[in-house]
Amino acid sequence: MKENLLRLTRGSLHILDGTGAWIGPLALRVLLAWEFFESGLEKSMGENWFADIMGRFPFPFSLIPADVSWQIATWSELLGGIALAIGLGTRLFGASLFILTLVAIASVHWPEHWMTLKDLAMGYVITDDGYGNFKLPVIYLGMLLPLILGGPGKLSCDALIARLVLKDR
């Protein structure tokens, strides 16, 4: 009885591991692709407000002119969203979007004034009530990490390219 239960558990975990290599990273990629692409689309159709916050950009990003930063952010989000969706250059685009998100947290989402960790924790929210709103970008960072460190998963252009390249060797 115990041996059967152990075998069933191992078999179930093996199936979950195999499925997870396909579905887990795909789910992360699709969610992040939608969020970043939508943000880039908003920027492409909106007005550049980076000039208003350039003083809050961290070094060395504060040295880049607002118009150039706006274009870099817009195209990084648009192209990065497409790349994540299809799993092409996932680690490169994931790392780029990770850096973009860190800059966004520092310049847009971080509270302007805080004295204690309790004050800072009040900024860990989705909506800004005067204490910042860095919760969602931190969630994005957490979602990007497995893609950067572990790759795009088996259901991706990156995996297909790797299989085709390794097949010939």
- CA nearest neighbour of 132 among 151, 111, 154: 111
What is the per-residue pLDDT for 33?
98
Residue among 128, 154, 126 at smallest CA distance from 35: 126
- Please report whether residue 18 resides in a domain: no
Query: What's the pLDDT tens digit per position in 69-118?
Result: 999 999 999 999 999 999 999 999 999 999 999 999 888 888 877 777 77
Q: Is residue 118 part of a domain?
A: yes
Residue 72 located in a structural domain: yes
Evaluate whether residue 4 is within a structural domain: no
pTM: 0.86
Per-residue confidence (pLDDT) for residue 43, from 0 to 100: 95
Question: How many angstroms separate the CA atoms of 98 and 52, rounded?
Answer: 23
Return the pLDDT at 169.
60
pLDDT tens digits, residue range 12-57? 777 777 777 789 999 999 999 999 999 999 999 999 999 888 888 8
For the CA atoms of the chain, what is the radius of gyration?
Answer: 20
Mention every residue, 6+ apart, whose C-beta is less than 8 A from residue 152: 25, 29, 87, 90, 91, 158, 159
Residues 113-156 pLDDT 10s: 777 777 777 777 777 776 678 889 999 999 999 999 999 999 99
Whether 13 maps to a domain, the answer reads no
List of residues 6+ apart from 133 with CB closer than 8 A: 109, 123, 125, 126, 127
Total structural domains in the chain? 1
In a domain, 1, yes or no: no
Range of the domain at 86: 25-167
